[in-house]
Amino acid sequence: MTIFVKNKHTLQIDEFKFKCCIGKRGSTRNKKEGDKKTPKGTFKIENLYFRKDRKEKPLTLLKCIEIKRNMGWCDDIRFPEKYNKLIKARKKIKHEKLKRKDFKYDLLIPIKYNFLRPSPGKGSCIFIHLTKNYKPTAGCVALKEKDFLIMLKLIKKNSKIKIY
């Protein structure tokens, strides 16, 4: 099963087409940390992370992980061994906080871009997450919650995402 992001406004799985949004500056094959671009290519996806205090555990074949207060995703190029990985949030390490005040990360799936042997500075924290208004992201792919929940029912652990 492949999730296709065909352009900056369309995510498709089989015959299902959903409106989405991507990075503010479009997509690229040469991603850099902070460039506000979504990486082009075909990537595996990770587990589903969710806010148990706000959402019921959704129906999905993905492994579901509850987002805790101290969870972060490292985007600090000074820590190559932690870069683009789930970490216990610490003040000295720059990171994307997963338990946010807004709703965007109430449901999120990390895209395995720059993932196995991460290269610091090549981009991190590329997620599929929620949006309410389809405003461009910092590089992620975002969907409305109802579409995200449908997507979760369609995809499997071995699903991939192809971004054009």
In this prediction, residue 90 carries a pLDDT of 86
Q: Which CATH number fits domain 2-163: 3.40.190.10, 1.20.1730.10, 2.40.440.10, 1.10.1200.10?
A: 2.40.440.10
Q: Side chain identity at 28, as an amino acid letter?
A: T
Region 6-27 average pLDDT? 96
* Positive/negative CA dihedral, 128, 33, 97, 44: positive
What is the Cα–Cα distance from 17 to 147, expressed in whole angstroms? 9
Instruction: Report pTM.
Output: 0.96
Q: What is the residue extent of each domain of the chain?
A: 2-163
Per residue in 84-126, pLDDT (tens digit) is 999 999 889 999 999 999 999 999 999 999 999 999 999 999 9
Query: Closest by alpha carbon to 141, among 4, 1, 34, 44?
Result: 4
Torsion on CA atoms 99, 83, 28, 159, rounded to nearest 10 = -70
